[in-house]
Structure 1
Amino acid sequence: MRTAFNWNRPCTLLGIAAVSAWPQLASAQGTAPMAASATPPALTAPTPLKLPAMVERTLPNGLRLVIVEQRELPVVDAYLVVRSGSEADPQNKAGLATLTANMLDEGAGSRDALALAEEIGFLAVRLGTGASLEGSNVFLHSTRATLDSAMGLMADVVLRPTFPEKEFTRLKSERLTSLLQEQDRGPAMADRAFAALVYGESHPYGRSSSGTKESVDPIALDDVKDFWRTYYRPNNATLILVGDLSVSEAQTLATRAFGVWERAAIPAVTYAKAPASAASAIHIVDKPKAAQSSFRIGGIGVARSTADYYPLMVMNTALGGSFTSRLNNTLREVKGYTYGAGSGFAMRREAGPFTARAEVVSAKTDSALIEFMKELNGIRQPLPAAELAKVKRYLQLGYADGFETTGDIASQVSSLVTYGLPLSTLGAFDSGIAKVTAADVQRVATKYLDPAKLTIVIAGDRASIEPALKATKIAPVDVRDMRGRPVIVP
Structure 2
Amino acid sequence: LTLQIVEQRELPVVDAVLVVRTGSEADPAGKAGLATLVANMLDEGAGSRDALSLAEEIGYLAVRLGTSASLEQSSAVLHTTRATLDSGMALMADVVLRPTFPEKEFARLKSERLTGLLQEQDRGPAMADRAFAALLYGESHPYGRSASGARESVDAITLDDVRTFWRSWYRPNNATLVLVGDLTVADAEALALRAFGRWERGPIAPPAYPTVATQRAGTAIHIVDKPKAAQSSFRIGSIGVPRSTADYYPLMVMNTALGGSFTSRLNNTLREVKGYTYGAGSGFSMRRAAGPFTARAEVVSAKTDSALIEFMNELRSIRKPMPAEELAKVKRYLRLGYADGFESTSDIASQIANLVPYNLPASTLSAFDAGIGKVTAADVQRVAMKYLDPSKLTIVIAGDRASIETPLKATKIAPVDVRDMRGRPVIVP
Q: Same fold (TM over 0.5)?
A: yes
**Structure 1 residue 242, shift from structure 2 partner:** 0.3
Does 1:381 pair with 2:320? yes
**Structure 1 residue 276, shift from structure 2 partner:** 3.4
Matched residue, 1:203: 141
Unpaired segments of 5 or more residues in structure 2? Answer: none
Task: Letter of the 2:413 partner, please give it.
Answer: I
Aligned-residue CA RMSD (Å) = 0.5
Aligned with 2:290 (options 342, 351, 368): 351
Matched residue, 1:222: 160
Q: Distance in 1 between matches of 2:178 and 2:191?
A: 12
**Structure 1 residue 277, shift from structure 2 partner:** 1.5
3-state SS, counterpart of residue 367 of structure 2: helix
Q: Distance in 2 between matches of 1:126 and 1:88?
A: 28
3-state SS, counterpart of residue 30 of structure 2: helix
Matched residue, 2:150: 212
Matched residue, 1:27: none
Give deviations 1:83-104, integer Å, cap 9, x for gaps. Answer: 0000000120000000000000
Matched residue, 1:60: none
3-state SS, counterpart of residue 173 of structure 1: helix
**Does the Cα contact within 8 Å between 1:67 and 1:241 map onto a contact in 2?**
yes
Does 1:116 pair with 2:70? no
Aligned with 2:193 (options 233, 255, 276): 255
3-state SS, counterpart of residue 179 of structure 2: strand
Alignment of 1:83-482 (within 5 A): 83-278=21-216, 279-482=218-421
Q: Distance in 2 between matches of 1:134 and 1:72?
A: 33
How does the TM-score come out when normalised to structure 1?
Answer: 0.87
How does the TM-score come out when normalised to structure 2?
Answer: 0.99
3-state SS, counterpart of residue 91 of structure 1: coil
Q: Distance in 2 between matches of 1:420 and 1:286?
A: 41
3-state SS, counterpart of residue 162 of structure 1: coil
**Structure 1 residue 275, shift from structure 2 partner:** 2.5
Superposed structure 1 runs of 4+ greater than 2 Å apart: none
Task: Letter of the 1:263 partner, please give it.
Answer: R
Q: Distance in 2 between matches of 1:264 and 1:367?
A: 55
Q: Distance in 2 between matches of 1:454 and 1:246?
A: 51
Unpaired segments of 5 or more residues in structure 1? Answer: 1-62
Give deviations 1:100-135, integer Å, cap 9, x for gaps. Answer: 000000000000000000000000000000000000
Aligned residue pairs, count:
428
3-state SS, counterpart of residue 276 of structure 1: coil
Task: Letter of the 1:357 partner, please give it.
Answer: R
**Does the Cα contact within 8 Å between 1:200 and 1:275 map onto a contact in 2?**
no
3-state SS, counterpart of residue 427 of structure 2: coil
3-state SS, counterpart of residue 390 of structure 2: coil
**Structure 1 residue 273, shift from structure 2 partner:** 1.0
**Percent identity over paired residues:** 82
Query: Based on CA coordinates, which of the two structures has the bigger radius of gyration?
Result: 1
Q: Distance in 1 between matches of 2:228 and 2:95?
A: 46
Q: Distance in 2 between matches of 1:276 and 1:377?
A: 20
Task: Letter of the 1:151 partner, please give it.
Answer: M
Give deviations 1:336-390, integer Å, cap 9, x for gaps. Answer: 0000000000000110000000000000000000000000000000000000000
**Does the Cα contact within 8 Å between 1:202 and 1:271 map onto a contact in 2?**
no
Higher relative contact order (CA 8 A, sep 6+): 2
3-state SS, counterpart of residue 354 of structure 2: helix
**Structure 1 residue 268, shift from structure 2 partner:** 3.0
Q: Distance in 1 between matches of 2:49 and 2:264?
A: 50
3-state SS, counterpart of residue 87 of structure 2: helix
**Structure 1 residue 272, shift from structure 2 partner:** 1.2
Q: Distance in 1 between matches of 2:355 and 2:156?
A: 34
Matched residue, 1:50: none
Q: Distance in 2 between matches of 1:436 and 1:267?
A: 37
